[in-house]
Amino acid sequence: MKKKKRKKYDGMDIFSFVALTLLAMSIVIPFWNAVVISFETSSAYLNKPFSWLPGEFTLANYQELMRQGEGLVRAYMNTIKVTVIGVAAGMSIMVMSAYAFSREFPGKKGLFMVMLFTMYFGGGLVPTYLLIKNLGLIDTHAGVILLGLSSTYNIIVMRNGFQSIPVELSEAAVIDGASDPAIFFKVMLPLQKPMIATFTLFTAVGCWNNWYWPMLILNSRSKVLLQIFLRSLINATSALTQQEMIESADAIRSYSLGIQMAAVFMVVLPIMLVYPFLQKHFAKGMLVGGVKM
Amino acid sequence: MEKRGDMQLKKGKKTARKVWKARYLYLMLVPLFIWLIIFHYGPMYGILLAFKKYRANAGIWGSQWVGLANFRRIFITPDSLKAIRNTVLISLGRIVFGFPPPIILAILINEMRGRKLKKVYQTIYTFPHFLSWVVVGVIMTNLLSTNGAVNTLMAGLGMEKVSFLTDKTLFVVMMFITGIWKGVGWSAIIYMAAIAGIDPALYEAARIDGASRLQQIRYITLSGISATISIVLILQIGQVMNAGFDQIFNMRNATVAGAVQILDTYVYDITFEATPNYGFSTAVGLFKSVINFTLLMTANVVVGRLTGQRLYSSE
């Protein structure tokens, strides 16, 4: 929206500024609060549950987190592994399919319907669980990766992206004698680099945040993923949360709270690091495909 | 591939030539379809369980048929009836309270001056969308607990402590609020795109005619994005059966569990309880999936009629 610069601020300017600032604060403060608690001693927290800076700075929560769990380091390594493999395999499948569906070929409509149907209907919890069990994928990272491998929605949006490339470009390549693989690798991929970068990051964040099926199918400690690690930290203290209803101040709880928040920070940090890159592209990459309905 | 090409050659040279020409495209689709068949169509075989009494040693096929008994049980079990009711009510609540905020946000962002600050704010608003409900659940549970930050701030203002997480009604309200908190920035993007598509000359003309900013919002911005608003609304109504499993699963506690027991959490609970009945679990899941499918399809058709374009067409 381009508007001529008005010199005076009117009521609307003030209202939108104040409202938007409050919303921004409501999002930043909970995270900041979590980070502060993670660097705080339990007594400082009990003294003042909400403060802008740690009442009494300490790294004890992080040290304790490291000691309690060799868990954390292992969860990190496992999550990185699952994310890297999941993104590499998933993106290859999705980009190839997206390109294929952007072209014309006999049977395209039928195949597309077969794919689309899975977006609206599925077997559900028990049948999927039994399938994983029958395939021997319980307690394996392969099971986690395979279950979340592809996303039909992403394929369709990327397909739209490929379709938005002028036909003349690929036709020119065909006349030059290029085959489909050549067009795919030499024309389409380079032209849609930003889109592919965006979806790579989307997929990576999706793998990083994956918790439901990992929770259901992973059970040995050596296989743990970050989100599951975080959940188990909370569940370990959920018995105390009940007690907390009776007596509000509980030294042990707040101490474990420090560790919990340290874990939250460790889980969120990588997403915060890639987020600027993600944000730069998703408005473009996502919208171009997503809004075309 | 070649053999298939030969066979079709007899039927029609043209199709065969087309298929052969597209051989690499089919090849590119092979991994996807192998995966779809195993991991999406595979479990659909297991749906048979909904009509059976499952015994682990007999397997899916060997278990005894029970007809529609599992489905009848859905309608005579108070817990499942309650889950159905909660699913619909919580979803409708999410639409009533959660639908307007992204529209308002998009309009406010559009009205705000200062390009740089706008960018910074948008970056902040969208961020929670990229976190899992595991993470957001921990943060929110801490924030809203009896000695958390919100209660501390309220106490500082001389207010009574509120048990946000153990009062059933308040907990549902908190579900709505934290849901909006996480998703509002992301949901606003589609409206912002729609606003960006409005012709700036319209605002110019309105200003010359002496329209106030509120009038401009009402008659230009809102009417300019009204099509988008109806599309999003219809699509959300189509999602009524999905009442927010991730959020509820990660934030519920024993005290409020009954009040926020939706179909998805119910299926989870009965599947992983001490003596599960897989047949019944599958039936509840299927019941939900079928209604969900019907609603989504209806929503897509309605949106298609409105826009004159099929949603997710193969073209």
What are A211-246's pLDDT values in tens digits?
999 999 998 888 999 999 998 888 765 544 444 444
Q: Are B126 and A279 in contact (CB under 8 A)?
A: yes
| Across A164-186, average pLDDT | 81
pLDDT digits (tens, 9 = 90+) for B250-264: 999 888 999 999 999
Q: For residue B155, count other CB atoms closer than 10 A to its CB.
A: 14
State the nearest Cα–Cα gap between B312 and chain A, in angstroms: 7
Query: Which residues between 127 and 156 in chain B have a beta carbon less than 8 angstroms from any beta carbon of chain A?
Result: 127-128, 130-132, 134-135, 138-143, 145-149, 151-153
- The pLDDT assigned to A6 comes to 52
**Pick from A112, A132, A136, A135: nearest CA to A123:** A132
Tens digits of pLDDT across chain B (315 residues)? 556 655 555 667 888 888 888 899 999 999 999 999 999 999 999 999 999 998 888 888 888 899 899 999 999 999 999 999 999 999 999 999 999 999 999 999 999 888 889 889 999 999 999 999 999 999 999 899 887 888 888 888 888 888 899 899 999 999 999 999 999 999 998 899 899 889 999 999 999 998 888 999 999 999 999 989 998 999 899 999 999 999 999 999 888 999 999 999 999 999 998 888 999 999 999 999 999 999 999 998 888 888 877 777 777
CB contact under 8 A, A114 and B36: yes
Multiple choice CATH, A69-290, 1.10.3720.10, 3.40.50.12160, 1.10.3370.10, 2.60.120.260: 1.10.3720.10
Q: Out of A20, A37, A113, whose CB is closest to B112?
A: A20
Q: Does B33 touch chain A (CB under 8 A)?
A: yes
Does A173 score more than 80 pLDDT?
no
**Backbone φ, ψ for residue A45 (5° rounding):** -65, -45
User: Going from the N-terminus, what domains does chain B have, and what CATH number goes with each?
Assistant: 2-65 (no CATH), 69-307 (1.10.3720.10)
CB contact, 8 Å: B42 with chain A?
yes
Q: For residue range A17-57, what is the model confidence (pLDDT) as tens digits? A: 999 999 999 999 999 999 998 898 777 777 777 778 887 78
Please tell me if residue B196 touches chain A, with a CB cutoff of 8 Å: yes
Q: Give chain B positions within 8 Å (CB) of A21.
A: 121
Task: Test B135 with A120 for CB contact under 8 angstroms.
Answer: no
Q: Which of residues 156-175 of B touch A (CB under 8 A)?
A: 161, 163, 166
Q: Under a CB-based contact definition with an 8 Å cutoff, are residues B47 and B286 in contact?
A: yes
Nearest C-alpha in A relative to B303: A293
Q: Which residue of chain A comes nearest to B189, CA vs CA?
A: A283
Q: Which residue has the tokens 């008005």?
A: A6
Q: What is the DSSP string of A50-117?
A: S-SS-SSB--HHHHHHHHH-HHHHHHHHHHHHHHHHHHHHHHHHHHHHHHHHHS--TTHHHHHHHHHH
Residues A198, A282 contacting (CB under 8 angstroms): yes
A109's CB contacts (< 8 A; 6+ apart) are: B314
Query: Which pLDDT belongs to residue A52?
Result: 83
Q: How many CB atoms lie within 10 A of CB A221?
A: 13
> Which residues are B53's β-sheet partners?
B64
**A19/A266 Cα distance (integer angstroms):** 31
B206–A contact, CB cutoff 8 A: no
> How far apart (Å, rounded) are the C-alpha atoms in residues B148 and B139?
10
Q: Which of B111, B133, B264 to probe the A interface (max A CBs under 10 A)?
A: B111
Helices (H) and strands (E) in chain B, counts: 19, 2
Tell me what ipTM this predicted complex has. 0.88
Please tell me the predicted confidence (pLDDT) of residue A40: 85
Say if the Cβ atoms of A227 and B293 lie within 8 Å: no
Q: Using alpha carbons only, what angle is made at residue A201 by residues B91 and A156, rounded to the nearest 5 degrees?
A: 60
Mean predicted lDDT score pLDDT of chain A: 83
User: Cβ of A128 and B43 within 8 Å?
Assistant: yes
Q: How far apart are CA A79 and CA A82, in angstroms?
A: 5
